[in-house]
Each structure stands twice: as structure tokens, then as C-alpha cells.
Amino acid sequence: MPGRDDNGLDTLLVGLDGASLPVLRPLFDAGVTPTLRDLFGEGASGPLRSQIPPWTASAWPSLYTGTNPGKHGVFGFLAFEGYDWEVVTASSVEERPLWGYLDHHDLTSVVVNVPVTYPPEAVDGAVVPGYLAPEDPPCHPEGILEDVRDHLGEYRVYADVESDESAGVEETVAEYRALTRMRGEAFRYLADRFDPDFGFLQFQHTDTILHEYPETDRAVRGVYGAVDGAVDRTLAACDPETVVVVSDHGLGEYDRRLRVNEVLRDEGLLSATRGGEGMPTWAVIRDDRLREGERGEGTDGTPLQRTAALAASVGLTSQRAGAVLERLGLLDAARRWVPTGLVRAGSEQVDFPNSAAYARSRVECGIRINLRGREPDGVVAPGEYEAVRSEVVELLSDLTTPEGDPVFETVAPREEFFSGPNVDRAVDVVAVPRRFDTYVTTWLLGEHFAAPDPPAWDHEREGVVAATGAGVDQSADLSGAHLFDVAPTVLALLGLKRAERMDGDVLPVAEDPGATDYPDYDVGAGTTLDDEAVEERLADLGYVE
């Protein structure tokens, strides 16, 4: 049987959300991350090209299934049904995860903190879900989270501080370091208990700290140093034969914000409405009671919200106030403290029945056509679809920054990026920012462009990959490595064939055993995430506007 021949972890996959070589190299040179430095230095390593869209909720499923979003079906943090949406879960992923393939071959896995793994799949081993799960997620096997907490004394999915509100940098970093230690300790406990062939240990705060404190060196060093220590202790305890380190995307500073829906409005492709209807243009949830999973109130819920809606109906919108706050440098602070239900009630929003095209979520990297017969209030007839799509492609292709440079490096129909049974869930026009130096938002807030204040970082396409250990060609050239290649490569390192339907190839670090068909995947029952505190956390990082 493929896999290890004796007891001990065969292959360990370490996930560093948002890590890139420009971030890691200075940490290597400064001695902050000696364990990661050695893993990259001793083995084959290089940049790992992410997909479009290069965001956590879609990229990790692509990495662990080896397929593009058109196959697995997750294009962002939100799953849309018409104009309504909900936060994605593992039940949104319609392709078999890596540990599901291993289970098919009677191999055992321990998976800790990987995004979009709630609710967990029942496999031989253990799964403790990570990002996008509720704070107390069901785990596999049932009751294992309680065992982990009994052993560690504490285990949490999310931080216990509001880093961009009341907590300072030191408190935030201390909390993130504590969560990082929990990830490593939980993995080591489960590895000792289940004696797995394969382990997958992910660290999320390597991304979060760069969103929140990109210019604070001690914050970045503090979090990455804690991750390095957790990896070092895991290597010592589990002694894996092979180690693969990956990230889902990179992060870097952006130069400007673009309100793409304002561009569409000025071209007559989008209409706005006031008074609380339509898709919200600001963060969705800002209420601590929702940590317990209560549903938020609609725009008719409170007298203050009704007042805001009335004010919006006569032209006194949140955007007008926001424009003033932005000029004063106070917009981000206001967004943190003003109840979002109030802001939503007083905002201009996309008027779907009267719009031909719109950006519904900034992380989707593109524009959705309001197609009749597909959308609830579609206005674009099927016979006009290609003409409208071509109009949007031309509009965005010609769009330039205030400095006169193209905003987008590629604007193209979605079929050039996605393939599979779920392509229809994607945006109709994909728009890839040039060097990702422009932060594209869905806000309706007046002018097309605005400068970031303070300087901020957002996602880029270049992540990282490194592989070392038994069976690894450590001299391999990893130029051209892609996110889709990770799952086929891990299977190959375990002596297993990749699935025919995977979009990735085996990286040259491993011998390619070929491809084969696997049984059809039984997609989950469609569990929804009734915990809007997750939406609050997404809003904190700018993923939901």
C-alpha cells in the first residue's frame, strides 16, 4: 500500500496564509524564522502562483482539491443565490479534498485550522476546522474539540481582541502568538493520538497581521516568529519524512482604491437606490451579540435605522457623510464604530432591477451581468448578453489610473479563467488589477479613485512553496509552480496518482505516478453558517464591504 512503511508522519503540509518571498526573506536574514529558513534553504523552493481570485476562501479549496473554482464552486467568501448571499462553508466545495483522496487509499490524516473545512468531512483521522467556521465548530470525530481543549486548557478559532479598535499592537500580537501556539499544540496532540500518514497544519495570522499592521516590524516579526516556533516543535515531535510549505497568495502594498461600481454607474450600466434596499456597500455586521450566532436586524429593525433610510431617500446618504470623513482621514474609524445596520440603511446601494452590470463582491475580481432568466430581476436579455459583456470588457480595459496607467492587466470573459460545472457562479467579466496595486471596492461613494489612508496592504498573486525531505528532488526548478499543483504533488509524494479531473500537475520535486479516475464525490448536505460574527471578522479585514 502506498504511504509510509512504519509509524510516524509521512508528509506534513504547512500552510502560511498570505506569505510571500518578499515578506519571508527579511525574516530569514534577521534570524526571526530559522526553521522556515532552513526548510526553504535545504529543499526546493520558489514562488507559487495563485489563482484568480487570489483570496483565502477560494484559494485554499483550490489548493486542497487541485481544481479551479469553476469545478469546486467557491469564488469568494460569499455564496450567492440571486442577489442574496451567505458565507461559504465546506459544503460549498464540490470537489474532494486532499484528505478525502487519502481516506480512499486507507491513509490517515490530521487537518488543523485549514480554511473552509467546516463542516468537516468524515475521514480516517481528525479535522479541526479553521477560518470561516464558527468559534465552536463541529469537528471530526465528534467530541474531538473538547478533547483538544481538555488537553491544551484552551483552544479558539478566532482572536479574543479587536485589533483595530480597542486593543493595541502589543496585545494583538500576544493574542495572535497564543493562537499560533494553540494550532501547533493541537496538531501535535492529534498526531500523537491518530498516528497519521498525512498532516496539514495551517496558520492564518501570517495574513491577518499584514492586513492590520503591515508597517509595524515588531508585529510582523512577532507573529512569524511564533509560527516558526510552532513549526519547529511540530517537526521535532512528529519527525515527518517530507515537509511541504505553501501559501495561498501573497500580500503587498496598494497605491489606490477604485470604486468600480461608480465607473459602471457613470457609463449608465448601473443604477443606485436609497433607503436600505439592494446589496450593502459597507461592512455587514458590527455587533458583539452576533458572536453567539444571532441574526442581524434588517433596515427596518430600529428607529435609528428607519431614520437613516428616510434621510437617504431625500438625498442625505451615508456616502455623503463618508466622503467628508474620508477627506478628513476619519472614514476607517467611522466604519468601525458606526452600527452597520444604520450605515446600510443610509447608503446608496446597487438597484438590481435597474442595473445591467455590477460588482457584487470585491474579492471576486470582476463584474456580474444582470442576465434575464438567471438573476431574479434580470434586465439584460440573453440575446444582448455578449454585447453588454463586451461593453464592460472594453470599459475596464480602457480605464486608467489618475497617473495615466492601465488599472487592469487583464479584462476578459470568465471562460478564459474558469472551467467546470460551476462556471455560472462566477462573475461574467474577470478584471485582474495590474500588479494588484489597485484595491477594487464595491462602494458607491462618489469619485472613482481614492488614496489609501493610512498605507495598507492587500492580496497579490505570488505566494510561496518549498519542499524538502525523503523522496524530494531538492534541486528541482519550481519556476512556474501553481496553486493547483499542490494537491497532485502531495499525492505523488505519498506514492498516489492524482485525479484525472485535477487542473494541476505534479511539481518536479516528486516523481509523477500518473493520473486516474476516482469515485464521484458526495458533496456535503449544504450546511449554512448561522454565525454572523464570521461576517464581522470578514468585514474587519475588508473582505465584505
In CATH, what number is assigned to the domain containing residue 63? 3.40.720.10
Give residue-wise pLDDT tens across range 46-71. Answer: 999 999 999 999 999 999 999 999 99
State yes or no: pLDDT of 165 exceeds 70. Answer: no
Structural domain boundaries, residue 162: 11-252+458-540
Question: Could you tell me if 234 and 113 lie in one domain?
Answer: yes
Nearest alpha carbon to residue 65 among 97, 93, 101: 97
Structural domains in the chain (count): 2
Question: Could you tell me if 265 and 187 lie in one domain?
Answer: no
5 assigned to some structural domain: no
Give the three cell numbers for residue 179. 493562537
Q: Is 514 exposed, middle or buried (0-12, 13-18, 19+ CB in 10 A)?
A: exposed
Question: Could you tell me if 246 and 265 lie in one domain?
Answer: no
SS3 call for 280: coil
Q: Is residue 83 very low, low, confident or very high in pLDDT (cuts 50, 70, 90)? A: confident
Question: Could you tell me if 368 and 421 lie in one domain?
Answer: yes
pTM of the model: 0.87
Q: DSSP class of residue 69?
A: H
Which residue among 450, 467, 495 closes a domain?
Answer: 450
What is the average pLDDT score of the chain?
86
6 assigned to some structural domain: no
Q: Is residue 523 very low, low, confident or very high in pLDDT (cuts 50, 70, 90)? A: confident
Annotate 129-169 with DSSP letters as a single string. Answer: --TTS-SS---BSTTHHHHHHHHHS---SS-SS-TTTT--H
State yes or no: pLDDT of 529 exceeds 80. Answer: no
Question: Could you tell me if 388 and 506 lie in one domain?
Answer: no
262 assigned to some structural domain: yes
The CA-atom distances, in angstroms, between 338 and each of 318, 331, 343, 363 are 11, 10, 7, 23
Question: Could you tell me if 502 and 533 lie in one domain?
Answer: yes
Q: Ramachandran region of residue 198, left (φ > 0), alpha (ψ -120 to 50) or beta?
A: beta
Give residue-wise pLDDT tens across range 210-238. Answer: 999 998 999 999 999 999 999 999 999 99
**Backbone dihedral angles phi then psi of residue 433, each to the nearest 5 degrees:** -60, 140
Nearest alpha carbon to residue 19 among 31, 42, 36, 41: 36
34 assigned to some structural domain: yes
Q: Is residue 332 very low, low, confident or very high in pLDDT (cuts 50, 70, 90)? A: low
% of the chain residues with pLDDT over 90 = 75
Question: Could you tell me if 446 and 466 lie in one domain?
Answer: no
Q: Is residue 537 very low, low, confident or very high in pLDDT (cuts 50, 70, 90)? A: low
Give the three cell numbers for residue 107. 491513509
Q: Is residue 347 very low, low, confident or very high in pLDDT (cuts 50, 70, 90)? A: low
Q: Which residue has the higher pLDDT, 437 or 315?
A: 437
Question: Could you tell me if 52 and 104 lie in one domain?
Answer: yes
Which residue among 389, 424, 450 closes a domain?
Answer: 450
The mean per-residue pLDDT over the stretch 403-416 comes to 98
545 assigned to some structural domain: no
State yes or no: pLDDT of 422 exceeds 90. Answer: yes
Give residue-wise pLDDT tens across range 469-488. Answer: 999 999 999 999 999 999 99
Query: CA–CA separation, 39 vs 35, rounded Å?
Result: 6
Q: Which region among 2-11, 281-290, 326-335, 446-455 has the lowest average model confidence (pLDDT)?
A: 281-290
